Structure 1
């Protein structure tokens, strides 16, 4: 691995680790009862799309059993509710409570501020280069997360 590749690799690993650490620290000041895993589950459930547990589990790369345990804790803590479908009562969807929507907005604001800081001072051309690099990384990750 050449020096540039090593630097980029080390930087990506450090940035990933730092984002998780800072994100948890920032949001824990307001939401002490949540783990970072629970915060990301709330984010995946989303504000308006009442997804099924299977959809959320797939998005988070969790087994249905792991997600069920996480959702059970979030329901107990008052962030998530299970909603029965109107047309098919067997289908249960997940929705955020008022408390869950507040956490979702705080999490979203953190990410918005982080991206603004990341792109600060870049020209439109530089932003397009970063976007292309991220798309390349997404493709690589997608190829390696397929079942």
Structure 2
């Protein structure tokens, strides 16, 4: 079992590193070369579908509110994100993506979908269920330690 733990750990570390490297490399070559990997992940958390508060986004990214504010300021200046004041409570400001931000979100989402499809290729439904369970276990562990 210890050999399997080491093999899987080494694989997870390589995969994590490779995903980050590919994302950074593709960003530099793309029309979104003005966005850092951290800014791209902020765009991903904001999503096209929700208008989250800065506190919600900071919590999901494990950032302090001050760090997130600086990131959002840069994304607003670059026209990826907009601040939306609530009609019901003018003190509440939500974050949304601009058209440029939505385009970036879709490109990032497409990369991840392509990557997951490749990961699951040639697996039967039972194998996919096993992977889902293993990922749930990993997520649970990470939540307990974050």
TM-score range, shorter chain: over 0.9
Note the 1:1-147 alignment, pairs <5 A: 2-30=2-30, 31-145=32-146
**Length-normalised TM-score, structure 2:** 0.97
Deviation at 1:102, TM superposition (A): 0.2
CA contact (8 A) 1:47 1:96 kept: yes
Q: Deviations over 1:46-83 (max 9, x none)?
A: 10210000000000000000000000000000100101
CA contact (8 A) 1:27 1:107 kept: no
Counterparts of 2:3 and 2:145 in 1: how far apart (Å)? 25
Q: Deviations over 1:27-54 (max 9, x none)?
A: 3322100010000000001102100000
Q: Structure 2, unaligned stretches of length 5 or more? A: none
Q: Deviations over 1:121-146 (max 9, x none)?
A: 0000110111111011001001001x
**Length-normalised TM-score, structure 1:** 0.96
Deviation at 1:4, TM superposition (A): 1.1
Q: Which runs of 4+ in 1 moved over 4 A?
A: none
CA RMSD in angstroms, aligned pairs only: 1.0
Q: Structure 1, unaligned stretches of length 5 or more? A: none
